Amino acid sequence: MGVALAAQAVPVTWTFQEDGLGDLGSSTRTFTEMGVSLTATSSGPNLYAKSSGGDETGLGLVGTADHEITGRTFIQLTMPTVPLSSLKFIFLGSVQQGELANIYFSPVPGVLGTKLGTVTSDSSFDISGLGAGYLGISGGGKGGADVLLDSVTADVRVPDSGTTVAMLGCALAALGLVRRKLV
């Protein structure tokens, strides 16, 4: 008799602050939370981790207005595939009146691809259901057009530790002994 281990979903959140603040020294950076990696790549300038309080915290770009993502720049996230995971939400910050954040999906790195939607205030955007590929974020609008990638959440499927299976096995063995004594 074989027993399959169940998988459980564990929530993971990347805040892009783990490697310090300011210029991150590269246009590509891999951020790791709970053993799961998410790679961010900019359209050119180095990535910038900003923490100025309120909604002015997140991932932006060196050399742009307020070190944020503008309408002429973007940050692209590589959808994590190992361990098996599904991104759920991206949270956007510093979206002031008249500004917006555009969200795109592409099967090709470095290309924004298909527009998924637009966010016009500090809020989240549901990205669940996307497969392997690249998620892009750019700024826009007339109010300065610069925004920040605040955070990203995902559900990561990990195998059950075996504790549940072991407990179930012990319970079944105990029931078998009780049944045997009653017969």
- The 10s digit of each residue's pLDDT in 78-90 is 987 666 667 899 9
In angstroms, the CA 174 to CA 124 distance is: 49
In a domain, 23, yes or no: yes
The pLDDT of residue 76 is 97
Quick check: is 175 in a domain?
Answer: yes
Structural domain range at position 115: 9-182
- Where residue 106 sits, what CATH number does that domain have? 2.60.120
- Assess if residue 136 is contained within a domain: yes
How distant, in Å, are the alpha carbons of 17, 33, 128 from that of 48?
10, 18, 26
> Which residues of the chain, if any, have pLDDT below 70?
1-7, 81-85, 159-183
Per the structure, the count of domains in the chain is 1
**Domain presence at residue 4:** no
**52-98 residue pLDDT tens:** 998 999 999 999 989 999 999 999 999 876 666 678 999 999 999 99
CA dist 136 and 129 (Å) reads 15
At 19 the pLDDT is: 87
* 3 in a structural domain: no
Output the CA–CA distances (angstroms, integers) from residue 67 to 23, 48, 94, 114, in the order listed. Answer: 9, 7, 11, 25
- 24: three-class secondary structure by DSSP: coil
pLDDT of residue 82: 63
Specify if 102 maps to a domain.
Answer: yes
Q: Is residue 45 part of a domain?
A: yes
* Whether 99 contacts 147, CB under 8 Å: yes
Query: Is there a domain that residue 2 lies in?
Result: no
Most distant pair of Cα atoms in the chain: their distance:
81
